[in-house]
Amino acid sequence: MPKNAEVEKRPDYVTSLDRGLRVLQTFSRDHAQLTLSEVAALTKLSPATARRSLHTLEHLGYVGRSGRRFLLRPKVLSISSGYLSAINAEMVLQPFLQDLVNEVGGSSSVTILDDLQIVYLAHASANRAIRLTAGVAARYPAYATSMGRTLLAFQPEWVIDAYFSRAVLRKLTEHTETNAAALRRILKETREKGYTSIQDELDYGIVSVALPIFGADGTIVAAANCADVTTRLSKKDIVTKRLPALRQAVRRIEGMLTQYPELANSVASQNAAPKDITHAREPLVVVAPPARTSSLAARVQRTPPPRRRS
C-alpha cells in the first residue's frame, strides 16, 4: 500500500489502521510465515509498531503464531468474502467466461488492477491445473501478464510513471520482459491496438491475449483474457483464433455493466482513467448469463442483438 504523506496528515486518517492493514498485506504465498523482524522490515515499520499491530491482529483472530513466526488465520477470509459476495462478480461474470471457454477452449478470466498486481474476479477453464493457479482472488504482477499490461495501458501517464517507480521487475522466466522502457513501448502498442498478447513470461507454456473492459462512462473497469498452453497455440495463433470470440464476450460483459453501473463501480480498477482513444466497436448488447441464484444475474434481461442496417 503506497504511503502518502499528505493523506497521513489529515485529521480523519487513522494511521494505526493503515499500519495494521499493511501488516496483513505483508503475508503472501512467498511470505506465508514471518518473524516480527521480517514483518517490520517488509512493512518499513519500527519493530515496536509491528509488534503492536501483530499482537492486536492476533487478539482479534486474524493472525496466529507458530513459535517465533506469525501466520494468517482463516478469519482474514471474512474481509474478502464480504466484498466478493457483495459484488457477486464470479456468479455474474462466470457464465460469460464459461460460454467463451465452451466455444473456443482453453481458459478465460476477468481481473482488476490493484496497486502493482492484478486480482482475479472470475475464471473459467477446461484445464484443472489452470483453474488451481488462476482462481478467484489469485494475484500476479501486472507487468508480466497480458491482462496486467492491458489494465496499465489505459491508465494516465502519471499512474504508469508511479507504477514503474515502485514495481520490482524481476524475471519469472527467461522470457519475462523486465526492461521498463521496453514495457512502456508495449503499453503504448497495447493502447494503440486495443489488445495485447503474451507468451512464456508469467510461466512457461502459457500463452494469452487480453482486452480491456470499459464501463458506461468509458472508464476502464477490468480486463479479460483467453489463455491456453503453447503446445496448442502460439502467440500469433491465439490472436487469430481467440481474439474475435473474446471481443464478443467483452461486449456482452460491457453491455451488462452499462445496465448495472453499481457492479462496474465496485470492480473498477484502482487509478482507473477514462480512455481517450476510440476503437471501432459493435453496439453493446445486454445478454443475460444462464439462470443463477444471484439476484443481480436474475435481473439481467435477455436482449436480442440489434439488426445491422445495410
| Residue among 197, 116, 190 at smallest CA distance from 153 | 190
The pLDDT confidence band at residue 296, using thresholds 50, 70 and 90, is: very low
Residue 4 belongs to some domain of the structure: no
Percent of the chain scoring above 90 in pLDDT: 59
Residue 206 belongs to some domain of the structure: yes
Q: Which phi-psi region, left, alpha or beta, contains residue 61 (left: φ > 0; alpha: ψ -120 to 50)?
A: left
Residue 56 belongs to some domain of the structure: yes
40 and 168, same domain (yes or no): no
pLDDT in tens, 6-35: 666 678 889 899 999 999 989 987 889 999
Residue 290 belongs to some domain of the structure: no
105 and 240, same domain (yes or no): yes
Of the listed ranges 43-52, 63-72, 133-142, 205-214, the least confidently predicted one is 133-142
3-class state of residue 281 by DSSP: coil
| Cα–Cα distance for residue pair 264/214, rounded to 1 Å | 9
**Total tally of structural domains belonging to the chain:** 2
109 and 223, same domain (yes or no): yes
The answer to whether residue 280 scores a pLDDT higher than 60 is no
Q: Dig out the grid coordinates for 238 from the structure.
A: 491465439
For the domain that residue 201 is a member of, what is the CATH number? 3.30.450.40
- pLDDT: is 306 or 162 the higher one? 162
60 and 115, same domain (yes or no): no
Task: For residue 9, give the DSSP letter.
Answer: T
Final residue in a domain of this structure, among 72, 90, 107: 72
Of the listed ranges 28-42, 63-77, 281-295, the least confidently predicted one is 281-295
Domain around 68: 14-72
| Residue among 18, 31, 202 at smallest CA distance from 109 | 202
For the domain that residue 36 is a member of, what is the CATH number? 1.10.10.10
171 and 115, same domain (yes or no): yes
Show the CA angle centred on residue 25, arms to residues 20 and 28, nearest 5°: 145
Residue 82: in which H helix or E strand, if any?
helix 77-87
213 and 115, same domain (yes or no): yes
**Alpha-carbon dihedral sign for residues 132, 136, 139, 144:** positive
